Amino acid sequence: MLTLLLVDAQAERAKRTQQICAEHGYRVVWADCVASALNEADAGFDLAILHNPVGQTSAVSLLSDLKRGNSDAELLVIIEAADLQTALDALKNGAFSYLTLPFGPDQLLLTLSRARERVELKRKSRALSSMLERSERRMRQILGQVDALIVSVDGHLSLRYANQAAQAFLGMDAETLLGRTAPDLLSLPPYRKQLEEQIRSNESIQHPAIEVRRVDGATRWLSWRWTSGLEQDQGELWYGVATDVTEAREKERAQRTAERRANLESLLQALNHVLRNWLNSASLNLTVLSRQLADVPQNHRSGPEDSASIIRKELTGLDELLKDFATVARPRDYSRSRVEIGSLIDDVCVRIEDEHPGTSVKLAIDGLLMAHSHPSALAQVVQNVLTNSAQAEAKEILVSATEHPDHISVRILDNGRGLSPDTESKIYDAFFTTTPNNTGLGLTIVKTLCAELEIDFELKNAPQQGCIAELTIPKGPKEPG
C-alpha cells in the first residue's frame, strides 16, 4: 500500500479527498500546515497532494523540502483555475502534475494512478540498477581472481580494465595501467592493425599464441581472444581474455620430440642390426686374413699386417659406435638397487686413467655412500662425463661426492678447455662433437640415462677454467607424484 501525503489547510475538503483515496487503496496521511507536512515527510511517503496555498505559504516553495529524503515520490499541486503561473512554477520545481479547481474524483484518481506508475517505475529502475551494480561488482571480483589475463579496451585501444592476473603479469597496478595503449603493453603490436579493423567491424577475434616476456623476465606464450560488449557510461568496450598456453606448447613439443625419438630409435635399431652383421662379417674375414698372413714369409708381411692393423682399429671404433647406438636406441630395463658410489666411481676412474694416460683423476669421497640406481648405467654416465673431460684436454679431474638426506651429490671438476658460447647449447645434440674421431653421442647418452635413472644432471663452465658436472642421485625410490 502506497502512502499518500495530503497537505490541505481546509479540513472538510481534506476529509473528502482522504475518503476517495482511501477507498482506492492508498494510505492517506493528512497535514494541515507546513510544519505538520514536513514532519510527516520525514516519516516517508510515496505520493503527495498539495492544495495551494498551504496557509500563507505557496505550495511551490514546499516541493523541494518534501522531496528531500523522498526522491522517488511524486507530488501533485492543486491550484485555482486562474493561477496558471503557479502551475508552471510547480512543474519547474519537480511537481509531477497539477489539477485545477474544480475537478472530479475520476480526474484525481487518474492523475494519481499515473503518478503511482511513475513511482513504481523509478523504484524498479533503481532496483535493477542496484542489482546490476552488485552483479558487476561480483563479476569483477570473480574476474579478478581467475588465473587468465582479462582486460578491456575502448575504441582507441586504451586499457579500461585489467584483472589482478593481468596487473601481476605486467607488473603495474590498475591505476597505472588505465589509459595506456593495450597493444604496446600486451606485446600485440604486430596485430594492432588487425585488432583495430576487427573492432570497427564488430567481429570476435582470436590471435595465435604470442610470446610475451613477463615482468619477472620469464617468457610465456599467451593466446588472446577478443569480443565486444557494452558498459555503462563508457560506450562499447572490447574484452580480451589471454590463456597461458606455455605448458600446452611444451607438452606438444615434448610429444613431437618423443614421436621423433621413437622413429629415430626404430631406425637406429635397424641400422645397428645391419651394421652389426657387416661388422661381424668384416671381423671374421680379418681373423681369417690374419691367420693366412702367418703362413707368408716374414719379409712379405709388413705391408699387409699394417693394413690389417688399421682395419682392426677402424673396426674397433665402429664397434664402440654401435654400442653407443645401442645405448641410445634400444629400450632397456633399468631396474635399480642399492649402489655403493665410492667403489663404482673408483673403478671408472681407473679405466679412464688407463685409456687417457695424460689425465689424472683424483677422488674426494669419504665414507660409505649408498644410492638407489642401476650400477652399470650409472657407471656409463660417470665414464662418459669423465671421457668428455679427458677429450677436452683436461689434465686433472677432481671427483667428489656428498651425502644429503634424500640424495647423493656427485661433482666432477676438470681443468679442460670448457664450453664455448657456440657449443654450449649443442652439447646434448646427437653426433655433435668438437673432438676428432669421436662419435658425438657421449653426452647424449648421459642425458638419456639420467632421465631413465631420475638423476638430475647439469654441465656448465667452471668459474676459472674447465667444466663442472653435477649429478644428483636419489638415495631411494622417489615418491609417486
Q: Tens place of pLDDT for every residue, the chain, 481 residues? A: 899 999 998 899 899 999 999 999 999 999 989 889 899 999 899 999 988 777 777 888 888 888 888 888 999 888 887 778 888 888 888 889 988 888 899 999 999 999 999 999 998 988 888 888 887 777 777 766 777 888 888 878 888 888 888 888 888 888 888 888 877 777 666 666 766 776 666 667 777 777 777 777 788 888 888 887 755 455 678 888 888 888 888 888 888 887 877 777 777 777 777 777 777 888 887 787 777 777 777 666 667 777 777 777 777 767 766 666 666 555 567 788 999 999 999 999 999 999 899 999 999 988 899 999 999 889 989 999 999 999 999 999 999 999 999 999 999 999 999 988 888 888 888 777 777 766 677 888 899 889 889 999 999 999 989 999 999 999 988 665 4
- Tell which residue, 402, 442, 415, has the closest CA to residue 361: 415
> What type of residue sits at position 6?
L
In whole angstroms, give the CA distance from residue 340 to residue 373. 10
Tell me the CA distances in angstroms from 411 to 6, 37, 381, 398, one per residue in order.
Answer: 97, 94, 13, 8
Closest Cα partner for 351 from 316, 383, 392, 310? Answer: 383
Residues with Cβ within 8 Å of 9's Cβ and at least 6 positions away in sequence, in order, are: 32, 33, 51, 53, 54, 55
Residue with cell 522531496: 67
What's the pLDDT score for residue 46? Answer: 92
Query: Which residues, 6+ apart, have CB-to-CB distance to 369 below 8 Å?
Result: 340, 341, 342, 401, 403, 408
Residues 6+ apart with CB under 8 A from 166: 149, 150, 151, 177, 242
Provide long-range contacts, Cβ within 8 A and 24+ apart, for 346-355: 347/379, 348/379, 348/382, 348/383, 348/386, 349/386, 349/399, 351/383, 352/383, 352/386, 352/387, 352/390, 352/397, 355/387, 355/390
In degrees and rounded to multiples of 5, residue 238 shows phi and psi of -110, 130
Phi-psi region of 420 (alpha: psi -120 to 50; beta: other; left: phi over 0): beta
Amino acid at 308: A
The pLDDT value recorded for residue 243 is 84
What would you measure as the largest C-alpha separation in the chain, in angstroms? 156
Q: Which helix (H) or strand (E) holds 203?
A: none
Burial 220-251 (b: 16+ CB within 10 A, else e): bbbbbebeeeeeeeeeebbbbbbebbbeeeee
Nearest to 428 by CA among 394, 396, 384: 384
Alpha-carbon span 105 to 468, nearest angstrom: 103
Sign, CA dihedral 87-89-91-94, equals: negative
For residue 341, give the 3-state DSSP assignment.
helix
CA dist 351 → 251, 384, 393 (Å)? 40, 11, 17
Enter the C-alpha cell of residue 307. 693394413
Query: Cα dihedral sign for 325, 330, 331, 337?
Result: negative
How open is the CA angle 371-376-377, to the nearest 5 degrees? 80
Question: d(Cα 49, Cα 362) in Å, to the nearest integer?
Answer: 107
Please answer whether residues 195 and 157 qualify as being in contact, where contact means their C-beta atoms are separated by less than 8 angstroms.
Answer: yes
Dihedral of alpha carbons 52, 58, 60, 63, sign: negative
pLDDT of residue 301: 63
Supply the pLDDT for residue 347. 92
What's residue 363's pLDDT?
A: 92
Non-local (6+) Cβ contacts of 451 within 8 A are none
CB-based contacts of 279, cutoff 8 Å, min separation 6: 315, 318, 319, 322
**Backbone phi, psi, residue 458, to 5°:** -145, 135
Amino acid at 448: T
Quick one: cell of 375?
Answer: 650400477
Q: Quickly list H helices, 54-104.
A: 59-67, 84-92
